Chains A and B, each alone.
Chain A
Amino acid sequence: GQSLEQPSEVTAVEGAIVQINCTYQTSGFYGLSWYQQHDGGAPTFLSYNALDGLEETGRFSSFLSRSDSYGYLLLQELQMKDSASYFCAVSTPGYSTLTFGKGTMLLVSP
């Protein structure tokens, strides 16, 4: 089976940089995704890594190390609207499904 670990909560101030880590254990691995979910809303896709390295999309970047079964989401120039829950999710070869972590609640303060 698959299991993912990420911190339950992270706090930061506006303008800062924050990193949300995710470690995973899977019987196979195809890629690591990140989703953002605001309170009461649906998850929205942020990024996807299938290969080692850093993927950058505006203020958000995502990193993957397959050998370490580890990834992180980096949020720069934090804004109040970034306060949300962030989920990492793994997909495995031969399947069309994602297994999600329990989520990290990011609280951005002024």
Chain B
Amino acid sequence: SQTIHQWPATLVQPVGSPLSLECTVEGTSNPNLYWYRQAAGRGLQLLFYSVGIGQISSEVPQNLSASRPQDRQFILSSKKLLLSDSGFYLCACKGQGDDEQYFGPGTRLTVT
């Protein structure tokens, strides 16, 4: 089964600073990869998904971007963070032919 690594676990960044969150996946090839954000006490909002290297689809226009430089690597970035970017960022993976998505441990981001 898939294993998803995310780091860091927690992050505190000032407004206007850049962001780079990395997600790597083990145990599967050519997975679909996803970035979600969850505000405190809320549901999961899909930010980006990717069905292959270099293929990124954005669900919500905002100051975040994503990249997939390798098959099992997914990166979430921002050039300048906003206060509203605070939240719990989750990377997820779905193998080919699978119905379920598996989630990484998440990064809790606080923008101050």
Please determine whether A97 and B44 come into contact, CB atoms closer than 8 angstroms: no
CA distance A67 to B42 in the complex (A): 28
Interface mask (A41-67 → B, CB under 8 Å = 1, otherwise 0): 111110010100000000000000000
- In the complex, which of the residues B34, B42, B99, B105 contacts A48, with contact meaning CB atoms closer than 8 Å? B99
List, in ascending order, chain B residues with CB within 8 A of A101's CB.
43
- In the complex, which of the residues A33, A45, A102 contacts B43, with contact meaning CB atoms closer than 8 Å? A102
Please determine whether A42 and B105 come into contact, CB atoms closer than 8 angstroms: yes
Please determine whether A96 and B100 come into contact, CB atoms closer than 8 angstroms: no
Residues of A within 8 A of B (CB): 31, 33, 41-45, 48, 50, 87, 91, 96-103
Interface mask (B81-110 → A, CB under 8 Å = 1, otherwise 0): 000000000100010000111111110000
**B26 CB within 8 Å of chain A:** no
Please determine whether A43 and B100 come into contact, CB atoms closer than 8 angstroms: no
Question: Whole-angstrom distance from the CB of B64 to the nearest CB of chain A?
Answer: 17
Residues of B within 8 A of A (CB): 32, 34, 42-44, 46, 49, 51, 59, 90, 94, 99-106
With a 10 A CB-CB cut-off, give which of B32, B44, B103 has the most chain A CB atoms: B44
A43-B44, A96-B32, A98-B46 known, 4 other contacts, Cβ within 8 Å: A33-B99, A42-B106, A43-B90, A97-B34
Question: Whole-angstrom distance from the CB of A89 to the nearest CB of chain B?
Answer: 8
Give 29 CB contacts A-B under 8 Å: A31-B99, A33-B99, A33-B100, A41-B105, A41-B106, A42-B103, A42-B104, A42-B105, A42-B106, A43-B44, A43-B90, A44-B103, A45-B100, A45-B101, A45-B102, A48-B99, A48-B100, A87-B43, A87-B44, A96-B32, A96-B49, A96-B51, A96-B94, A97-B34, A98-B101, A100-B43, A100-B46, A101-B43, A103-B42
List, in ascending order, chain A residues with CB within 8 A of B49's CB.
96-97
